[in-house]
Amino acid sequence: AYWNYEDNMRFTEEMFSYMFPKLIGTMKVDVKDKEGETHTIDFTAPWPRVTFQELILKDAGIDLSKHTTVESLREAITEKGIKIDGMNHLGLGNLIDHLYKKVSRPKLISPIFLIGHPLELSPLARKNDTNPNIVDRFQLVVATWEVLNAYSELVDPIDQTQRFDAQSSAKDAGDTEAHSKDDEYVESMEYGMPPISGFGMGIDRMVTLLTQQDN
């Protein structure tokens, strides 16, 4: 309560900075990526922060700010010759996510905070104050693994209802990854919620990385 995603980014860096010397005596660790390749990674903070838009512009040559509809983005992806399975059944947010996982995530080795998630991909996260098309959310990516997800929670019941309605429309249009509605959650929100930030860490994924396992 009364934290935002910036607070949780600082907390994450502080937690790793405390945990690694206690656990293994060093901030440099050999880990495997999802392809089984071994990398020596330095977990010393601070870690870079990079947005979806920056990554995809660099790795695919597509400027997300110029593609505000799923049809426009599909056309741009096709023009670049990028193949994404089931692309025609994905909504805008999930299409951006699949594009990132195709062209960018395999290149992310050292710890990095991925920020600037599309609004459509984050139906439970608070809108950014300066850009309403993105949300206040981050993921920690290490050796191509997403090991942590956190965001400033959306606590506005009107906004939340609109987001759920948009997700339902995407699901009806064939996007099987769209979020389901949760009317009880909205009702509880109507009673009032403080500003809050959620934090979810894949402990199993971190153990996998630190013990150099394949999965």
pLDDT in tens, 15-70: 999 999 999 999 999 999 989 999 999 999 999 999 999 999 999 999 999 998 99
Phi/psi for 81 (5° steps) reads 75, 25
85-96 per-position pLDDT tens digit: 999 989 888 899
* 171-189 mean pLDDT: 87
Residue 199: φ, ψ to 5°? -140, 125
CB contact burial 160-194 (16+ within 10 A = b; e otherwise): beebbebbeebbeeebebbbebeeeeeeebeeeee
Convert the pLDDT of each residue in 119-170 to its tens digit: 888 888 999 999 998 999 999 999 999 999 999 999 999 999 998 888 888 8
What is the model's pLDDT at position 202? Answer: 95
Structure token pair of residue 17: 């900075």
Q: Which of the 8 DSSP states describes residue 65?
A: G
The residue type at 143: A
Which pLDDT score, from 0 to 100, does residue 71 have?
A: 94
pLDDT at site 27: 96
Q: Tell which phi-psi region holds residue 174, choosing left (phi > 0), alpha (psi between -120 and 50) or beta.
A: left
pLDDT of amino acid 59: 97
Residue type, 10: R
- Say which residues have a Cβ less than 8 Å from residue 20's Cβ, sequence separation at least 6: 26, 27, 29, 43
Q: Where are the alpha helices (DSSP H) in 80-196?
A: 92-103, 157-172, 183-190
Structure-model confidence comparison of residues 214 and 202, the more confident one: 202
At 156 the pLDDT is: 92
- Supply the pLDDT for residue 91: 87
**Which tokens hold the place of 109?**
């080795």
pLDDT of residue 15: 96
